[in-house]
Structure 1
Amino acid sequence: MSMQQTDQIARGGFRFRLAAALLALPLLAGTASAQAETTLRMVLRNDLATIDPVSSTATFARNHGFLVYDQLYALDSKGEPRRQMIGSEEVSADGRQWRFTLRPGLRFHDGAPVRAADAVASIRRWAQRDVVGRALAAATAKMEVVDDQTFIIELSRPFALVKQALARPTASALFVMPEAVAQTPATEQITSAVGSGPFIFERDQWRVGDRATYRRNPDYKPREEAPDGLAGAKVASVDRIEWLSIPDPATAMGALSSGEIDFWELPPPDLVPVLETMPNVRLEPIDPVGSQVWLRMNHQQPPFNDPRARRALLRAISQKDVLDAAGMPPEDRVEQCNAFFYCGTPLESRAGTEGLESPDFDAARALLKESGYDGRRVVFLDAADLFTNHAATLVMAEAFRKIGINVDVVTTDFATLTARRNKREPVEQGGWNLFITVGNVLDGGDPLSSLYLASPCQGGLSGWPCDEKLEELRRAWYQEQDPGKRRELVDDIQRQAYQSVPYAPSGQFRTRAAFRSNLRGIRPTTVPVFWGISKAAQ
């Protein structure tokens, strides 16, 4: 890193430490005194910028989705799919015919009953966008409604993970919408947020950059099972939720200390020692496996349309420097993790990682030269409102300059980045070359669900990789019925991924959420959900 960038990160840490002196200030006092005691106020890693969890893979769309919608199946704490809106299923002996029946009494927020037609329309729209949905759709010969409570899926070829697919919780997550809403083209944003979930979105009170509000759904019918991961009973135990925009960490910490907010998903690591000393504040990881920093390249535009240029980036990245710059303490990080499917999981692999134990700038320069890189400007999008993404961008940009890349860091916020990364045009026309995102184990913990591993040549997510061999290996994995044989395929998949480099795993870490000690029911759900959480007097 340059001295200027080092100073920038250091000044940020100094500012955070000074913020402890501000904790007594009533920064949001007017808001706090006006609300009922059963209002839960939260600050998440992003503000709500869109309400469509299909058209956007951003975390804010997913978080909104879990508040207002329900799922057909849901993953429990062991990652196993459990019935959620489904009451029963019947499967043929060969696993090709599936008959699903909804549990009775489900209703949307407007009072309309949830029907099989709503579920089928929702699956079809989701399958146009999501990597898991596309895989299921490609294996489906027929999907149709039988009656108001029943629908069928008939497979044309093996697909071993049907229920796992229907439990898709992240990226373009699968939530059930009313049929009329789900018939919106997947390329267009929906405008309705009517779901059947435990909370109702108050759309007329939504102000981007300020707040989004939700009220308890009095007609929601939870399952009888206890909450377990993302599955089980979704009991709304507070009357109202306010999702507040507080981008300044010092202000957010002051608000948490004074009780003006209740939950802060992602406090910067630099502030954790201060938060640990606060009375009535607790810190706990809600994601036990942790997250990975991912460097995504634009595979359609030079110079990273050449796999040698992408492999050059791999040789220049120091995961230690990335995690150091982000302030991740030793106990909350994996010092070096090159596993595409995360370290510490059953699918952790070292295949294809030879030579990636530490940066090798000479090897990186040689690969870059082989690729024919001509010194052109490389646009690296920087989400400065996310501390991990921002720190990783600055560190990597400096490393890439050292191997001879003409890097132009374009600073923006994450909401703007999520829009710009969909542009396929050259950088001279508003396009891009690189950006950082952070994925948890639900985003990329296996070859089917990994949204940025998928390299389908047609369609796909921002970056648009194309690797037919990798796709063949992925298909072999999710078609295989034997879990042991699926595990054997993981090494082959990772070796091929390190040849084509759809993205670069660049550091694994764990964060801790901070919340008031009078909140009950905070669980390790990997993503933040707010059913089953109650707020006692304090």
Structure 2
Amino acid sequence: MLQRLQSASRRALLLAGLAALPLAPALAQTAPAPTGTSTGTLRVVLSNELTSIDPVVSTAAFVRNHGFMVYDQLFALDGKGLPQPQMVGAHTVSADAMTHRFTLRDGLAFHDGQPVRAADAVASIRRWGARDVVGKALLAATASLDVIDDKTFELKLARPFGPVTESLARATGSALFVMPERIAQTPATTAITDPTGSGPFILDPGAWRIGDRTVYRRNPNYRPRPEPADGLAGGKVVKIERLEWVAMPDAAVAGSALTNGEIDFIEHPAPDLLPLLQRSRGVTVGLINPIGSMVWLRLNHSQPPFNDPRARQALLHAIDQKEVLQGMGIPTEDQVPYCPAYFMCGTPIESAAGAVGLRNAEPEKARALLREAGYANQPVVFLNGADNPLNNGATLVLAEQFKRAGLTMDVQTMDWATVTVRRNRREAPSQGGWNAFVTIANALDAGNPLSNFYMASPCEGGLTGWPCDTKLDELRRAWWEEADATKRAALLEAVHARAYEVLPYINAGQFRTKSAWRSNLSGILAATVPVFWNVERK
């Protein structure tokens, strides 16, 4: 299987493409100025192109990436993952930690020139809290959320809730971004169409062409914080005039464009290309995600066979994480050969409580559990977002492992944008639904028992996949309501062990991902997600 995924012919095509492929058609009409001349334009290739813009309705990473361009946050996570004031200028907490008062800093304005008000922040929190798992937990613990004056709002808790500022700094899943009240009043089930925010970039709707590029301009009226940029926090100083997010799904074309200076940044170069990119003059390969990423296998809990926990548990014995990473082309030095941790290995809350399988495949154990679950050889529809080489590699290897375990696999290939739409369908797989898909998560996604949105199992109103387990959600809630550190540590172990019983999703391998950019760029931030304030040409 691995030989088929990384055949000599494919490798030759990809590597030769760096030197031989022509300029991508999408860039042909906008070739950059000669080397050494700053055009004021930064051209970037991210994992997927922008196809929708609502960060509440969609949890897709490309929508989050767009959100950090055009919106700002009340609090933001610094390089250590700690929440820091961003739009907030002053924050006071009562002695019993049950009342929080926030005052917005001076100079905040939306792209249409209107000032940012406390009413905008409150409306944005309420809309976000109607869908996001962190937002729902915060609002469920809230007695009142009121506007005090144009710049001040107050949150009173009905019961203890420790991570208030961490929640307001939510950076993934449905990240918390502040919108104008008129937009934030849109029902959380209806996608917004107006991209007005108050962030450091402004979307140019007339230049947004799906399949080609998305264009942003520097917001001339944005007032950065005075602190240096640090992770997603601090001063968002934009040093370019224009940002082009280029659609370029072919990995070899993107690598060629980077080495030739036709683009400036690739978020996730194909692993096969990294050795040559590292040797290319004028290219820097580095980490913007220090902890790394993880392959998450999301299963549909509402449809056979994975509505039965025994069928989900069977996959623990079908998966060999190291084989998955090898099939994705991840270099050995960037692999974590085995990681059972739902909150990722290498983090302060890494755990192996309840862990089963994943290290060495045992197909016979998997077959036995499938028989117990009553699996009747029906096709398993596995959605493959093949325009992302990491997703594609992981999906193909996992499909082969599941075949060995006795599952009849139906791998359906499409682009990732289509996956993000298809995965919301609850119909039977034979009627346009699905059974499984792969997504790539990072440390912000994994977070903790509250912020890990794929762990939430609320039964009603849950995320795609629709996991339902009252006990797991009760343990999660007990964790974020517990103030005692020792008790919280014990609760985390209980959460982890229960997750291995019900499997809201499965960890299929952890690895580090490198990005690549032109060496004449400075200011690339290790923010885990790609952001482009602070970046300039030397």
TM-score interval, normalised by the smaller of the two chains? over 0.9
* Aligned equivalent of 1:167, options 166, 169, 174: 169
* Aligned equivalent of 2:396, options 378, 394, 397: 394
Distance of 1:105 and 1:392 partners within structure 2:
46
Q: Which amino acid aligns with 2:481?
A: Q
Distance of 1:10 and 1:211 partners within structure 2:
32
Deviations 1:409-466 (A, max 9, x none): 1111100000000001111221000000010010012111101111011111110100
Say whether the 8 Å CA contact 2:358–2:508 is kept in structure 1.
no
> Are positions 1:419 and 2:421 aligned together?
yes
Question: Structure 2, unaligned stretches of length 5 or more?
Answer: none
Distance of 1:526 and 1:191 partners within structure 2:
27
Q: Which residue of 2 aligns with 1:13?
A: 11
RMSD: 1.5
* Aligned equivalent of 2:293, options 271, 278, 291: 291
What TM-score do you get using the length of structure 1 for normalisation? 0.97
Aligned in 2, Cα 1:355/1:246: closer, same or farther, shift over 3 Å?
Answer: closer
Distance of 2:23 and 2:246 partners within structure 1:
18
Percent of matched pairs sharing the same residue:
58
Q: Which residue of 2 aligns with 1:509?
A: 511
Aligned in 2, Cα 1:39/1:2: closer, same or farther, shift over 3 Å?
Answer: closer
Say whether the 8 Å CA contact 1:141–1:154 is kept in structure 2.
yes
Question: SS of 2:401's equivalent?
Answer: helix
Q: Which residue of 2 aligns with 1:532?
A: 534
* Aligned equivalent of 1:314, options 313, 316, 331: 316
1:298-337 alignment, distance < 5 Å: 298-337=300-339
Say whether the 8 Å CA contact 1:2–1:398 is kept in structure 2.
no
How far is the alpha carbon of 1:408 from its aligned partner?
0.5
Question: SS of 1:87's equivalent?
Answer: strand
Distance of 1:359 and 1:135 partners within structure 2:
37
Q: Which amino acid aligns with 1:176?
A: V
Say whether the 8 Å CA contact 2:43–2:245 is kept in structure 1.
yes
Q: Which residue of 2 aligns with 1:468?
A: 470
Say whether the 8 Å CA contact 1:384–1:413 is kept in structure 2.
yes
Q: Which residue of 1 aligns with 2:92?
A: 90
Q: Which residue of 2 aligns with 1:210?
A: 212
Say whether the 8 Å CA contact 2:467–2:504 is kept in structure 1.
yes
What TM-score do you get using the length of structure 2 for normalisation? 0.97
Question: SS of 1:388's equivalent?
Answer: helix
* Aligned equivalent of 1:56, options 42, 55, 58: 58
Question: SS of 2:31's equivalent?
Answer: helix
Q: Which amino acid aligns with 2:326?
A: D
How far is the alpha carbon of 1:7 from its aligned partner?
5.4
Say whether the 8 Å CA contact 1:23–1:254 is kept in structure 2.
yes
Question: SS of 2:534's equivalent?
Answer: coil
How far is the alpha carbon of 1:391 from its aligned partner?
1.0
Distance of 1:156 and 1:96 partners within structure 2:
7
Say whether the 8 Å CA contact 1:9–1:391 is kept in structure 2.
no
How far is the alpha carbon of 1:94 from its aligned partner?
1.3
How far is the alpha carbon of 1:21 from its aligned partner?
3.0
Say whether the 8 Å CA contact 1:24–1:258 is kept in structure 2.
no
1:467-506 alignment, distance < 5 Å: 467-506=469-508
Aligned in 2, Cα 1:157/1:252: closer, same or farther, shift over 3 Å?
Answer: same
Deviations 1:177-218 (A, max 9, x none): 000001111111101111001111101110011000011111
Say whether the 8 Å CA contact 1:23–1:257 is kept in structure 2.
no
How far is the alpha carbon of 1:406 from its aligned partner?
1.4
Distance of 1:395 and 1:456 partners within structure 2:
31
Say whether the 8 Å CA contact 1:29–1:260 is kept in structure 2.
no
How far is the alpha carbon of 1:141 from its aligned partner?
1.3
Distance of 1:473 and 1:33 partners within structure 2:
54
Distance of 1:174 and 1:308 partners within structure 2:
36
* Aligned equivalent of 1:269, options 268, 271, 275: 271
Deviations 1:488-521 (A, max 9, x none): 3221111100000000001001111110011110
How many positions carry a matched residue from both structures? 534
Say whether the 8 Å CA contact 1:26–1:258 is kept in structure 2.
no
Say whether the 8 Å CA contact 2:475–2:495 is kept in structure 1.
yes
Aligned in 2, Cα 1:479/1:9: closer, same or farther, shift over 3 Å?
Answer: farther
Question: Structure 1, unaligned stretches of length 5 or more?
Answer: none
How far is the alpha carbon of 1:22 from its aligned partner?
1.3
* Aligned equivalent of 1:358, options 348, 357, 360: 360
Decide which moves more: 498-507 or 441-450.
Answer: 441-450
